[in-house]
Chains A and B, each alone.
Chain A
Amino acid sequence: MIELKNITLIKNDKKILNNINLQIDDNLTTIITGPNGSGKSTLMKLIMGIEQPTSGEIIFNGQNITNYSISERANLGISFAMQQPVKFKGITVKDLLKLSLRENASNEKICDALSSVGLCPKNYLDREVGSSLSGGELKRVEIASVILRKSNLVIFDEPEAGIDIWSFNRLINLFNDLNKRLGCSVVIVSHQEKIINIADKILVLNAGQVEEYGDKEVVLPLLNKTNVTQKKCKRR
């Protein structure tokens, strides 16, 4: 279980996250949604330790991890698939997935992970995780690098971005019972209805604050009705 207590993050005098209090329960799939710029990625980076809060605390399974480094959090079982995957020079798909598996690396596991994100291992193992891969391919390699890890909490930041329809359906299948297969909590930042549908719980973020948070049955109708995610700009 991860708890965020009074989390505020200020950057360049701008409150990006404003007094967030929330608790993500074990073994559930939680979907985080909300308009662009509402602070979803920042919140996820904060859980991973990539961003530091200006104030507030993060408690993971009873441990205060607010001052833990990224590596320490990773080794506690927090995993994160980035919205914008990082490119490397010289590091191949196989290299990256090996690093992800660490001492448990086996070709079989690597190939399984690639297949599960719809990449044919023999075509991708030796490709550089760099500019020669398309956005969607990079995204899928990023997801593979995360599902290979032994996690307690795994976060995906807009996994659907740049992924074609065919692969998208495969992705839905992958996420559908991922919490059960990995035996961990799954958090997915997404705007996609099909992904939102697999949620146990939905959290709506708006302007750095929690606007709605609760069971899918409760929050989903609100989403459809009031269109909280699409507050319109007033015409001049």
Chain B
Amino acid sequence: MDLLKKNLLKEVSGLESLPKGAYNIRIDGKKYARQDSANIEIRTKNDKDGIDIIIKSSAQNESVHIPVILTENGLKDMVYNDFFIEDNAVVTIVAGCGIHNCDSTSEHNGIHTFYIGKNAKVKYIEKHYGEGDNMGKRILNPVTNVFIKENGQLEINTTQIKGVDETERITYAKLEDNATLIINEKVLTNNNQNAKTIFKVDLDGKNSSVKVTSRSVAENQSKQTFKSEINGNNLCFGHVECDAIIKDNARVQSTPEITANHIDANLVHEAAIGKIAGEQIIKLQTLGLSEQEAEEAIIAGFLK
């Protein structure tokens, strides 16, 4: 692996070398390296491009890395990853996509489906990263489908800080009794970038709950759209919090849609969009930071 690829890999997955345990590294549309572990099995799909990741009940506090890297100019990559997490498994999945391109558009579309078994606990970490000169566009369109059985838990942490020109993220989840879904999203767009996020969650199970926290910063002429659609179909809890900082001529749109189809559904949507609070800048200036340094510190904290 050359230095460029190594750096991308580190950016999106924190890996400096091949990890211990299970992993599948995809580079430029092809499998680069793979390893199973005693409790995690990764299989190539027969009918389409992608992998099945089977996490057995015996996996307890294990992790699996599945980063994707694109360095070939003009590549359009499309991949299906299915995660089968058996009952009681406890696992952390580290995904992520790094693109480096020069003069033509590179695109990665990942369709991820999670089947989460009873009592299983899953943490999914995904980082998007793009670099290269401005001629070639970098496009990422992740689709995530989530099915959580009784008492199952999924926490999704996604980060996309600059570098990606177009992104449309669609997440759909269906929760059974006592299932929990936590989504933490962090986005920073600049220049003419465009980021769109759609969450649709069906809280079907009794005592099921979802908590979505989105923190985003839009700079320059960039645009962001955030849409969440939470359906409370049982005694359930839904909380969506969307916080955005806008700068320059950026545009942010937040559309809450919460539907209670059951008398015991508890749904809340909070959205706040605005420029950095003047008093926050003032406080940091009183500590000796310049206005610009203050802004940077506030944004770094906000997206941490």
Contact = CB atoms under 8 A, between A and B. Distances in A.
23 contacts: A50-B282, A50-B286, A70-B282, A70-B285, A70-B286, A71-B285, A71-B289, A71-B291, A74-B288, A80-B286, A86-B277, A88-B298, A88-B301, A89-B215, A89-B302, A91-B298, A91-B301, A91-B302, A99-B284, A99-B297, A100-B287, A102-B287, A145-B287
B288 A90 contact: no
Interface residues of A, number: 23
Contacts of A210: none
Contacts of B302: 89-91
Contacts of B287: 74, 99-100, 102, 145, 149
Nearest to A91: B301
A85 B284 CA distance: 12
Interface in A112-136: none
Contacts of A172: none
B215 A91 contact: no
A199 B109 CA distance: 68
Contacts of A75: 288
A23 to B, nearest CB: 22
The 6 lowest CB-CB distance pairs between A and B, nearest first, are A91-B301, A90-B301, A70-B285, A74-B288, A86-B283, A90-B302
Most buried by A among B277, B287, B289, B291: B287
B304 interface: yes
B229 to A, nearest CB: 25
Contact of B215 (A74, A80, A90): A90
B2 interface: no
Contact of A89 (B283, B284, B286, B301): B301
Interface in A57-97: 69-71, 74-75, 79-80, 82, 85-86, 88-92, 95
Contacts, number: 57
Contacts of B279: 86
Interface in A14-49: 48
B152 to A, nearest CB: 28
Contact of A71 (B290, B297, B298): B290
Interface string A145-172: 1000100000000000000000000000
Most buried by A among B284, B289, B302: B284
B215 A102 contact: no
B285 A82 contact: no
Contact of B297 (A82, A85, A91): A91
Interface string B166-208: 0000000000000000000000000000000000000000000
Contact of B288 (A71, A82, A85, A95): A71
Contacts of B288: 71, 74-75, 102, 149
Given A75-B288, A100-B287, A88 B280 contact: yes
B303 interface: yes
Given A86-B277, A90-B303, A90-B304, 20 more contacts: A69-B285, A71-B285, A74-B285, A74-B287, A82-B283, A82-B286, A85-B283, A86-B279, A86-B282, A88-B298, A89-B243, A90-B215, A91-B297, A91-B298, A91-B302, A92-B301, A99-B297, A102-B288, A145-B287, A149-B287
A145 B286 CA distance: 10
Contacts of A85: 283
